[in-house]
Amino acid sequence: MKIVAFGASTSSTSINQTLAAYVARLFKDADVTVLSIRDFEVPMFSEDMEKEVGKAEGAQAFLDAIEPADLVIVSYAEHNGTYTAAYKNLFDWSTRIQRTVFQEKPVIYLATSPGANGARNVLQSAVNSAPHFGANVVASLSVPSFSENFDLKKNTVINQEIGAQLDSVVASAVKALAGDNVS
């Protein structure tokens, strides 16, 4: 199974990048690719800019990186209750090339934050809009108070309840993938 995972943040210390990579590695015998959205540079989207540059190369590269995946894992950072500007900009460019950005693939949507809300607002928004962008959400989970529940030095979950929830997310995805006969 091929998994593509990324955090929807450009921070070099992104806790969402950490969470996405961690969950991807919970899958046994999977070929995991962890993307950084910083690697997919695009100008600020506008119709005028689109007329000037046409198809943004960074957006096409992002779509190409998702294409071989059997499963996509995204962990959403939340800025002021919504997507980060960098992710939304890359996503907007990508939809102009291919509206079904997630290419009808199974996806796991995650979100985390330093606070008790766990970026639930952006996660709910992503789940609600998923069908419009070719994302078959097989599981989703918000992880609150990341630093209290995850040991960055050991790269592991320290809260047993959250660990069990993440295991359940993985089990749900495995079950869904088995139903799709993904190899």
pLDDT in tens, 29-85: 999 999 999 999 999 999 999 999 999 999 999 999 999 999 999 999 999 999 999
User: Does the structure show a pLDDT above 60 at 182?
Assistant: no
Instruction: Please choose, from the candidates 136, 127, 138, 69, the residue with its C-alpha nearest in 3D space to the C-alpha of residue 100.
Output: 136
Q: Which fold has domain 2-179?
A: Rossmann fold (3.40.50)
Alpha helices in 25-84 (DSSP H): 47-53, 57-66
Question: Radius of gyration (Cα) for the chain, nearest Å?
Answer: 16
pLDDT in tens, 79-128: 999 999 999 999 999 999 999 999 999 999 999 999 999 999 999 999 99
For residue 26 the two structure tokens come to: 């919970």
Alpha helices in 40-139 (DSSP H): 47-53, 57-66, 85-97, 120-129
Return the domain boundaries, the chain.
2-179
Q: Alpha-carbon torsion 93, 99, 102, 107, what sign?
A: positive
